[in-house]
Amino acid sequence: MPGDLRAPADAHSTRARHGRHDEARARRARHARQRPETRVETAVKPLICAVAAAAFVSAQTPARDQQPQRQQPSFRAGVELVSLNVTVTDAGKYVTDLAATDFAVYEDGAKQDVTFFNKSNLPIALAFLVDTSASMETKLQTAQEAAIGFARKLRTQDLAEVVDFDSRVVVLANFTNNIGDLEAAIRKTSAGGSTSLYNAVYIALKDLKKVVAKNVDEIRREAIIVLSDGEDTSSLLPFEEVLDLAKRSETAIYSIGLRAGEGPSTTTRGFKEAEFVLRQFSQETGGRAFFPNQLSDLNNVYGQIAEELSSQYTVGYSSRNPKRDGAWRRIVVRVNRPNLVARTKQGYFAPTNH
């Protein structure tokens, strides 16, 4: 991690007092910084996904005889599975009755063979990101209640963390399935300071990488829900670098952009820039961006995100392209029923030999 982007979890006691000073220092640091180097991993999970693919294949083949012990799956060395979380809609309504044969996956225009498919609602590893800059002060209580309502819908097999950000980034709850702990962490958020959105997304992406699946049963979809009301003003990391990391991940980013005041106005330069950033994060990763007109719409927005996450398919394929050149590969998913629209991440970076 470049520098120390996190603040200690007890940082809230001094936020209100030091918020303005933090913002000034952060602005000066932002202009003076040099672009940090960041090493990132490819979006492919070779071992676990290969095991999952083998499990998918074996599930399609009747066993010759029953064995009391669990058989070890076999797979070809060097074959890596590209995993996609796919949302399918028909005129905006989620479609949940599709089979693997209904999907066609294309990589750089070449059709791929689907080798893994799941529609049984895989568990989720989720990061809640809450903007707690000074401009959120009058909105924070409503935002807290909406986020808590979403957290209460999580299942025992799901994991979530809570991160708030102003001029600093604070992880208030590490990944847990304890709803009480998540609710307490969300209620602990307090407003003050500037906005370090990019730092917060970077930290959440890195934290999600640490949620490691030790077996097929522990494979989780990854998602970030980020709530913000303005442009980034104090991150040490540039937008392009964090977007690149997001594109290399398997994490769908759901963005909620709150306007500075009630009503439909989106004419301020700051909001236009924030809207562009939030849309980019979501479009590139297969998530979705929301820009509610009223603060009272937040419950509905979180409800739509919850419905989408519970309606997704996980589709995997082994790329026909053997090159390990780190190049960007564009992905298109189509469904063989009329009027249906499939949405997923726009592509991935190929693995490399080093």
Residue boundaries of the structural domains of the chain: 46-58+74-120+312-349, 122-309
**What pLDDT, on a 0 to 100 scale, did the predictor assign at position 73?**
33
Q: At what angle do helices 197-209 and 269-285 cross, to 10 degrees?
A: 20
Q: What's the pLDDT at 201?
A: 98
Using CA atoms, how far apart are residues 43 and 251, in angstroms rounded to an integer?
9
Q: Which amino acid is at 153?
A: K
Burial of 322: CB neighbours in 10 Å, binned 0-12, 13-18, 19+ = exposed
- pLDDT at residue 354, as a whole number: 73
Tokens found for residue 67: 């064995």
Closest CA to 235 of 202, 271, 205, 191: 202
β-bridge pairing 221-228 and 124-131: parallel
pLDDT, position 271 = 72
Q: Alpha helices, DSSP H only, in 152-293?
A: 179-187, 197-209, 239-247, 269-285
pLDDT given at position 213: 78
Q: What is the pLDDT of residue 259?
A: 76
C-beta of residue 246 within 8 angstroms of C-beta of residue 287: no
Number of Cβ within a 10 Å radius of residue 123: 18
Q: Which residues contact 320 (CB under 8 A, 6 or more apart)?
A: 107, 110, 112, 113
d(CA 70, CA 281): 41
CA–CA dist 139, 314 (Å, integer): 35
What is the model's pLDDT at position 4?
61
Among 187, 282, 167, residue whose Cα is nearest residue 230: 167
pLDDT for 300 equals 97
| pLDDT for res 58 | 39
pLDDT at 131: 97
Instruction: Name 199's Cβ contacts closer than 8 Å, sequence gap at least 6.
Output: 5, 165, 169, 235, 236, 237
Mean pLDDT, each 10-residue run in order, the chain (354 residues):
64 48 45 38 41 42 38 43 95 96 98 91 93 94 96 95 96 97 97 95 97 79 95 95 96 91 55 91 97 94 96 95 95 97 96 85
Cβ–Cβ < 8 Å for 94, 87:
yes
Q: What pLDDT score does 14 carry?
A: 47
How many other β-carbons are positioned within 10 Å of the β-carbon of residue 285? Answer: 27
Q: What is the structure's pLDDT at 38?
A: 34
Distance separating alpha carbons of residues 251 and 285, to the nearest angstrom = 6
CA 30/CA 24 separation, integer angstroms: 10
pLDDT at 186: 98
Phi, psi of 83 (to 5 degrees): -105, 130
CATH number at 122-309: 3.40.50.410
**Rounded to whole angstroms, how far apart are CA atoms 86 and 333?**
8
d(CA 181, CA 210): 20
pLDDT value of residue 254: 98
User: Using a CB cutoff of 8 Å and minimum separation of 24, what contacts does 268-277 make?
Assistant: 270/230, 270/231, 271/230, 271/231, 273/231, 274/197, 274/228, 274/229, 274/230, 274/231, 274/232, 277/197, 277/231, 277/232, 277/239
State phi, psi for 292 to the nearest 5 degrees.
-65, 145
